[in-house]
Amino acid sequence: MLTFVPFAIFQHPERHALLTISAAAIGVHVIFKRYEPKEPLVHMALLVGSPAFLSFLLAPHNISATFLIFFASLAASIVLYRLSPLHPLARYPGPLLHKISALDFTRIALRGRPYAYIKRLHEKYGDIIRIGPNEVSIRDASAIPGMLGSTGFPKSKAYLARAMWPPVSPLIATSGEEHAARRKWWNRGFSSGALKDYEKTVAHYVSQLGGSLAEQEERVDLGTLFSYLTFDIVNDIAFGKGPNMLANGDTGGLWSLLQGTQCAARVFSNMPWVAMYARMLLALGMSCNFKLFRAYGIQRAKERVEQGSLYKDLFYYLNNEDGAEKQGRPLPHVINDGVLAILAGSDTTANVLTNLFYFLLSNPVEYQRLQAEIDKYYPRGESAFDVKHHQSMPILNAAINEALRLVPVLPGGSQRDAPSGGKVVGPYYLPGGTTAAIHNYSVNHDPRNFAPYTSSFWPDRWLIASGDKAPVDAGIDEGAFVHNAYAFIPFSFGPANCVGKNLAMQEMRMTVCHLMQRFDIGFAPGFDSASYEKNLREYFVMHRAELLVQVIARDKGIM
């Protein structure tokens, strides 16, 4: 005969009370596993309310013992399940602690070099590894179409967590029909016609950068100037006006704010529930870099609405000022997109430019070869801002591609969640709810995809692949050359690829051509160039290291 549980508890001896507490803890584990609640109040009810209620019902009323038994049982249930053959990802190898808790990988990621760490894990365990209780990393290019293509996985909830679960999802966090509907506004803003309109803006700031470098008499951190350059460009293109960092420096601390958001975002992406607590603290008035930077973006958007359109900037399209759609958009959506443009369009391009110049300066022969090509297409006195030759310059584009291959913008790839019911990608079955990513850094450094000189800066691989150069002319046997074009996805892949990739390429080509036409650039005396790659840091996107250079105008002599 069944007895009402609370009444029965008082009738059972202590060992039965222990079983009841343990059973309740296992029940809480099941709730978390099935529903993954992220709201702090739900957490409080389950993790505090449950043992508190049980301690009231059980005799003797030992609150501390009840909590101890509850959490010990909960921890044991979680650990045993995640390590057991019953776990859906049990077949995939990985470090023991990573399987138990996302906290372990988060700890490693916050050191700033998860890209190198995961590469080592792939070399040890194979092409698919478990880096979290429900997360895998994949080093197999054959999984790219199935995961990122038109019928691929939706974006992971980690993207929403990075933005602290905003009321309006940013474009980068959307998938499927919602993404297609939101992206049409961006597509107009980055059409070939729009890019043509942006050329003058990009040229203006690149010219300003050249002027700043011409005034430098001592060594300068080229990466910092590239950061100011791209921040000015994307602000001007997004809102019709830039903060003029190239002229004034980071006087308002904006770049520092942008950088300061990254560590927290890394934690949020690995442990999405933590972001909800951060959001709650912000609602209570706590300040942080993310909140301050978002306030900056909101202010810029409001100013842009008040001043109107000075020219056809990105906001012109995002706010439907071109009248292409019958129905406009809510202002919060437009503001959200404007903030995303700054976040995605400045830091990334600056980092690639810095990495590219590091590789060129580390390989003087490649530097001179590229400079000779620029001199050929843009002789002295001819403007390197004219984009007519940029896309057809083989060495320029090979050098950019090689920098993107060696140091991808997103080393860890785009996080996706396997749909309900699971799905096969490449040769791997991923159960529903599994978070997965193609690890771009490992894919790009895999000799099965790129050889020879897999981990070296060798632009010739792109010239050989395009037919502009024969392997024998590059000093290698044809059989030794491996180039898997499908493994190279610097701007992601599929319908959610980077919408601003053409603008980024325009900025990089224009900057490289102008600077190398005008200057001879070299490492500053005393700069430890060997430390550059060791000082690269990844917090979702790759962050450049300090790059100290010395610059001499070419009409003043050769360095």
If DSSP codes are grouped into helix, strand and coil, which group holds residue 436?
strand
Give the number of other CB atoms < 10 A from CB of residue 84: 9
Beta bridge partners of 424: 429
What is the distance between the alpha carbons of residues 329 and 319, in angstroms, rounded to a whole number? 6
Largest CA distance in the chain: 99
Whether the CB-CB separation of 132 and 156 falls below 8 Å is answered with no
Q: Find how far residue 549's CA is from the centre of its chain.
A: 27
CA atoms of 522 and 9, how far apart (whole Å) = 78
* Nearest C-alpha neighbor of 119 from the set 486, 358, 411: 411
Q: What CA–CA distance (Å, rounded) separates 257 from 251?
A: 12
Cα–Cα distance measured from residue 191 to residue 193, given in angstroms and rounded to the nearest whole number? 5
C-alpha–C-alpha distance, residues 311 and 351, integer Å: 28
352 phi and psi angles, rounded to 5 deg? -65, -45
| DSSP single-letter state for residue 313 | -
- As a whole number of angstroms, the distance between CA 271 and CA 415 comes to 13
Q: Tell whether residue 498 is among the known ligand binding residues.
A: yes
Please tell me the distance from the alpha carbon of residue 83 to that of residue 524, in angstroms, as a whole number: 52
CA gap 122, 398 in Å, rounded? 27
> Residues annotated in the binding site, as ranges?
498
> Residues annotated in the binding site for heme, as ranges?
498
